[in-house]
Amino acid sequence: MEQYDISVIGAGPAGLFCAIHASAHGSRVLLIEKMDEPGKKLLLSGTGQCNITHAGEMRDFLSHYGDHGKWLKPALFSFTNKALIAFFEELGLPMQAEENGKVFPKTRQSADVLAVLLKECKAKGVEIRCGEPVAGISHQDKGFEITTSRATYRSAVMVITTGGSSYPKTGSTGDGYRFCESLGQPVTEIAPALTPLLIRNFPFAALAGISFEQMPFTVWRSGKKVSEHKGDVLFTHLGLSGPGILDASRNILPDDLIKLSFVGTMKREEFTADLASRVQENRTWQVSTILAAYPIPERLNRKLLKISDIPDDLKCNHFSAEQRTRLAANCTEFPSTVTAPGGYAVAMVTRGGVALDGVNMKTMESKIVPGLYFAGEVLDIDGDTGGYNLQAAFSTGYLAAEGIRKRLEEKGLP
């Protein structure tokens, strides 16, 4: 049985970062990973380009984590986006911010981010054991006993950084939640987040690939509007995606109704009046020509006319009030019924996880099990697209390492 000061379960960004900073204080750190290589999910981040953080002010980050931004504040401010960028640049990997604020490595290779983390782990003496699924964990007065498929380890402190349940092929299969439950640590209900929406009888499948910048849309449930949004939307073969939809997906349920506006911020009444005015001024024009004056792609223009039961060659002088009403509704509040949010195989992150009221936000230590820490997606935290989730992983990993350092110092350990 091997003895360590700190054991970290899960070699994703949170686990690697926590191990690096925990070992920097002289502690003997073991990092256990069930996959054959570390950082499998990190390699997929940002379609392999690794949108590592956002360049905005840290105070603005808090609004990008749903209701849990305030809880994350100590972690985010303990290791900011500027500190994260500096960390990688000082280790030879320059970063670059886009106009939209997304920050990527200049090489646009997530493998380069992982390589820096692994090199730093090696430099700090972190022992990484891959291909060792954890079979069981027990907690005693002196610490933790971890049994894997190959060995048994003991450590005074343990950190769970196993991620969520999204992208299970990368190893994120909800193991951390089961470990927590076996230790008596509360876990909230989980569900896919940052995921596309499957739309019932989606009429725009042939238009897959068309995208809309900053499209306004609303979410309705049981006949009541529950939320308003504005963000980039993408048509897929099965429904809706794009950053705006992904960010909203954490609170969308099956049978919810998504109402899309294809004419920007124009309200239905405003569009109806504007359309009527244009029709009156151009009585001999075709309705399709009038519709082309709005910011609607040509192929979508034709589809909206068809859905509204309006012939392509219909002229304005034969354009009935009933047809105008249908077209206005479809252009400003097009209804799309959600069959289901996409599952864990396509969801970028997991909503839910280790209940935050059972974790000290200033140290990442469990309030229930002494010496047990958490970092990353295993916590009940999910951020918007744009680098917010990776920043949370690195920041919570860093804060957990700092919390561990203080705990071990109090105990007189390395």
pLDDT in tens, 62-116: 999 988 999 999 999 999 999 999 999 999 999 999 999 999 999 999 999 999 9
Distance of CA 369 to the CA centre of its chain: 28
d(CA 75, CA 386): 18
Average pLDDT taken over every residue of the chain: 95
d(CA 363, CA 365): 5
Residue 413: per-residue pLDDT? 67
Residue 414 pLDDT greater than 70, yes or no: no
What pLDDT band is residue 6 in, cutting at 50, 70 and 90?
very high
Residue 170 pLDDT greater than 70, yes or no: yes
Q: What are phi and psi of 309, to 5 degrees?
A: 60, 45
Helix (H) or strand (E) holding 275: helix 268-281
pLDDT per residue as tens digits for the range 363-381: 999 999 999 999 999 999 9
d(CA 60, CA 57): 5
Closest CA to 146 of 359, 17, 1, 354: 1
Q: What are phi and psi of 166, to 5 degrees?
A: -85, 150
Residue 411 pLDDT greater than 80, yes or no: no
Residue 47: per-residue pLDDT? 86
pLDDT per residue as tens digits for the range 254-309: 999 999 999 999 999 999 999 999 999 999 999 999 999 999 999 999 999 999 99
Tell me the pTM.
0.92
Residue 1: per-residue pLDDT? 81
Query: For 365, which DSSP code?
Result: B
Q: Which residues contact 166 (CB under 8 A, 6 or more apart)?
A: 172, 192, 193, 194, 195, 344, 347, 348, 349, 350, 377
Distance of CA 332 to the CA centre of its chain: 28
Tokens found for residue 290: 């009038």
What are the structural domains of the chain? 2-192+346-411 (3.50.50.60), 196-342 (no CATH)
- Provide the 3-class DSSP secondary structure of residue 118: helix
Q: What are phi and psi of 178, to 5 degrees?
A: -70, -40
Residue 364: per-residue pLDDT? 98
Percent of the chain whose pLDDT exceeds 90? 94
HSE, CB side, 13 Å, CA atoms: give it for residue 18.
Answer: 37
Residue 191: per-residue pLDDT? 93
pLDDT per residue as tens digits for the range 301-355: 999 999 999 998 999 999 999 999 999 999 999 999 999 999 999 999 999 999 9
Closest CA to 317 of 277, 282, 278, 275: 282
Q: State the helix-helix crossing angle for 13-23 and 110-123, rounded to 10 degrees.
A: 30
Residue 141 pLDDT greater than 90, yes or no: no
